[in-house]
A and B are shown apart, each in its own frame.
Chain A
């Protein structure tokens, strides 16, 4: 006789007991849950291999809804469907009735889930609400996703997060850093069901554009796109960039205070009179002031950092430091609003928001919803752009080379769908797995008097000649992404250097240099461009006086034209050595490590 081993029962990961007939018992628990005797949050699973029953009731489990199937028949009947349609019941009622239940990852292991009703067999335990549920809220926004490579759908979902739109309707009251607002957002012509579910109309992104797939004088190679300059002038994809600046009147130990005011000329670090010109009597800028980089938004002075004995005896007022807030390097705009409030510590807090209109320019990044992102390669006036027989000029010209390797067929369908939608004045459904079929779209195109493949005969805008090939043209939804050249463009020929190393500063906001890194340096060496390499690194070169006797860095007095060594005294010979300041610093640092580096000077051969 075989003794059947009892199954261990774990509740929330802790062994609580055993049960005799795990399979039946688990089924019993599920039944009780569906009836409503047990909370809906309970999930139970039986692991046959380990002979363990897991019951989970804790928070933090990702659960998803599924329709319960009994004897190969979905519990969600047509009657329920009609009731739901009429609004007599809602989703939560279905959950209460046990028609729909939420499963966690562990209970899912015990199920056999059908994708749609036609696949149902008596073995199935659950039915998917819709096959489209495999997509998340963002991936569902991609039109015709089932025609795309999965990677492209993911990239598309990712780029949609970077799209500029109206992120919140109260944006005028908010002080968000790096906020962008699109001026004329539109509802996509080709759309998915989730758009309405998420009420995207209240915070839209992007615009519908006429798009032609062709190359144009090489300005749209390698993922670049051509923009119609005239469309841009008519307001296409204009956006506003907001940046808030804050400053606080701080209190310091000893009862000293910051003060928000127009700094007087006695203040240490006083800038030029010009940068303070917009400040009003209270030391704060007025709204609608046109400001440029470096202009002071809020004038502020702070007490001196250290109290030295010398200053105590100083006559007159104490010396204060200038700590005004000014517009960032290379940024400009108009003062949008000024906010006066208290900080957490109860100090006076001033916020100034600057607004700047951003008109699409060469280098701005755009994307369709299929992960086909690219930057503007050229803005072309309408007169030079190709046009169709009916006189339609594209807003965007998109390179055909972006299609074969990425296989975003969904985008081509979107363009055809967009064309149908634009011509017939309706929205086209492109929801995953339930979209309007390609055939339908093509047939409508023929009905409307166009070729069913979306191509049209087009003419060169410059010469007026007909193109030999027919051009694929239609409407597509495009997004302006938040990466704009205006925030990123940077160059430097000379500029500020660091105090410690005398090397150029780093970063755009500090007008920094572009680093010639280790690998670039190897490249110079590999080419044998030795003198060029030296010149590239000359940014911190110095002439250092060195004592010929002891090899230490010496001191040179320019007025007396005499050098002296700290060790050997004045009675020594000094040689000048050209080296990078960073090396001199290294020598000093070595000395601080108790290593005594000496320079043995020799004449250059």
Chain B
């Protein structure tokens, strides 16, 4: 009995455990039937249907993003630009964000959440300084720290001095009482290097997590969450206050490198659904899953572009028909590639039936068997 079933083994076991054998038999039979029905028909053009199902709502999307007045929010790329970003598999989203969920004791405490948020926020030297100049006379860099912003970020001059001294080990660092910073190179260097030093100083990381340029604690029904601009999933997940099971990043490549390709697949699905939902559109999950699967099935993320998914197409003609044909044709010629003419596009080009739907069925006549039958029939009729 169980050999005939096509439903996954886990489900069979679970049902067998829960119900008596006669009941389970009935249920399994019914389940098997519905499972069979739910399976897609062989030859169904799922790829084209998925593409159409996502392409059509794409035409209804607006390029403009809507904003609500008075609501604390961050500007996140939405709509068609975001969708294109996901499908093209851009290495870095135009607005990388994270939604950080916190663990039990912290998430209901506003003060604690604000503290965490402040801890996360990256502060560079640039953010706390007032002005920066290159003093060519004394051959040093002078920067004025803004005491006001220092206070805002709850930093002290000592903190800054410490970090600066750590990094500029080859230079003489002096931090005066009023916040004047003087950095003098110990060795003799060129003027250009002094300017390089200036940019380096501006970029110095003082506190927080690298890459996170903005934080915004938001109160949700289930406690506080922190929305960030800029992502650093690896470091955030390591923080003990953070709930690593819920925290998400919209940078798909980052998700892939931190959590693996399966997580990236889920991230793609989640991001597509989210962008569509924002526009009030609804696309069947399976279409999105199919696209996410094709984008991730090689263990790395490939965009739906001529460098990604299209590049991996087997057929030369199919590749050539999609952007830069000459390049593909010349490459195919040098490699002596063979086109088996098995795909849809190639068969349309040569005007043959496409191997989809009714075209996938082939009729094979067993002539030997056929002959026997006709002889039999003739004998019957003759007698």
Binding site for B on A (CB under 8 A): 521-523, 525-531, 533-534, 537-538, 540-541, 578-580, 582-583, 586, 590, 593-596, 600, 605
**B326 CB, nearest partner CB in chain A, Å:** 7
Q: What's the Cα separation between A125 and B357 when bound, in Å?
A: 75
> Contacting chain A: which of B66-74, B221-229, B273-281, B345-353?
B345-353
**Residues of B within 8 A of A (CB-CB), count:** 29
- Which residues of chain B (328-359) have a CB below 8 Å from chain A? 329-330, 332-333, 338, 344, 348-359
Residue among B49, B344, B348, B351 with max Cβ neighbours from chain A (10 Å):
B351
Given the contacts A531-B353, A579-B351, A525 and B45 also touching, CB distance less than 8 Å? yes
From known contacts A590-B329, A595-B330, infer whether A525 and B356 are also in contact, taking CB-CB under 8 Å.
Answer: yes
Q: A595-B330, A595-B333, A596-B333 are in contact. Are A526 and B348 (CB under 8 A)?
A: no
Interchain CB contact under 8 A, B357 and A579: no
- The answer to whether A530 and B355 have CB atoms under 8 Å apart is yes
Choose from B333, B344, B351, B364 the contact partner of A525 (Cβ within 8 Å).
B344
Report Cα–Cα, A586/B355, bound state, in Å: 22
Which residue from A533, A578, A595, A605 sits with its C-beta under 8 Å from B348?
A533
- B338 to A: closest C-beta gap in Å: 8
B48 and A529 within 8 A (CB): no
Is B260 at the interface (CB under 8 A from chain A)? no
Smallest CB–CB gap between B213 and chain A, Å?
31
CB contact under 8 A between A529 and B358, given known A522-B52, A590-B329: yes
Known: A528-B358, A580-B349. 16 other contacts (CB 8 A): A526-B45, A528-B44, A528-B45, A528-B357, A530-B354, A530-B360, A533-B348, A534-B351, A534-B354, A534-B359, A540-B351, A578-B352, A579-B351, A580-B350, A583-B350, A605-B362
Question: Hey, which chain B residues are within 8 Å of A533, CB to CB?
Answer: 348, 353-354
CB distance from A520 to the nearest CB of B (A): 12
CB distance from B306 to the nearest CB of A (A): 16
Which B residues are in CB contact (< 8 Å) with A528?
43-45, 356-359
Question: Does B6 sit at the interface, judged by CB under 8 A?
Answer: no
Does any Cβ of A come within 8 Å of B51's Cβ? Answer: yes
Most buried by B among A531, A534, A596: A534
The answer for the CA separation of A526 and B357 in the assembled complex, in Å, is: 8
A residues near B48, Cβ cutoff 8 Å: 522, 525-526
Of the A-B pairs whose beta carbons lie under 8 Å apart in the complex, a sample of 29, sorted by A's number, is A521-B348, A523-B52, A525-B357, A526-B45, A526-B48, A526-B49, A527-B45, A528-B43, A528-B45, A528-B357, A528-B359, A529-B357, A530-B355, A530-B360, A531-B353, A533-B348, A533-B354, A534-B354, A534-B359, A540-B351, A541-B351, A580-B349, A580-B351, A582-B349, A583-B349, A590-B329, A593-B326, A594-B333, A595-B330
- Bound complex: CA of A540 vs CA of B351, how far in Å? 9
Residue pair B348, A537 in contact (C-beta under 8 Å): yes
- B326, B353, B360 — most chain A CB neighbours (10 Å): B353
Q: Summarize B's interface: helix, strand, loop or mixed.
A: helix
Smallest CB-CB A-B distances: 5 pairs? A528-B357, A530-B359, A580-B351, A595-B333, A526-B48
Q: Which residue of B lies closest to A542 (CB)?
A: B351
Across the interface, do B351 and A526 meet the contact criterion of CB distance under 8 Å?
Answer: no
Interchain CB contact under 8 A, B330 and A531: no
A530 touches B351 (CB 8 A): no
Residue of B nearest to A539 (CB): B351
Q: Within 8 Å CB of A537, what residues of B?
A: 348, 351
Interface string of B31-56 (1 = CB under 8 A from A): 00000000000011100110110000
Contact B351 A583 (CB under 8 A): yes
> Are A530 and B349 within 8 A (Cβ)?
no
A contact residues around B350 at 8 Å (CB): 579-580, 583
By a CB distance below 8 angstroms, the chain A residues around B352 are 534, 578-579
B45 — which chain A residues lie within 8 A by C-beta?
525-528
B353 proximity list for chain A (CB < 8 A) = 530-531, 533-534
Report the bound CA distance from A600 to B356 in whole Å: 23
Q: Are A586 and B349 in contact (CB under 8 A)?
A: yes
Q: Is the CB of A595 within 8 A of B329?
A: yes
Considering the complex, give the chain B residue whose CB is closest to the CB of A587.
B350
Question: With the chains together, A605 CA to B344 CA distance in Å?
Answer: 18
Query: In whole angstroms, how far apart are the Cα atoms of A333 and B323 in the complex?
Result: 48
Residues of chain B with a CB closer than 8 A to A594's CB = 333
Residues 278 to 297 of chain B near chain A (Cβ within 8 Å): none
Query: Among A526, A529, A531, which residue has the most Cβ atoms of chain B within 10 A?
Result: A526
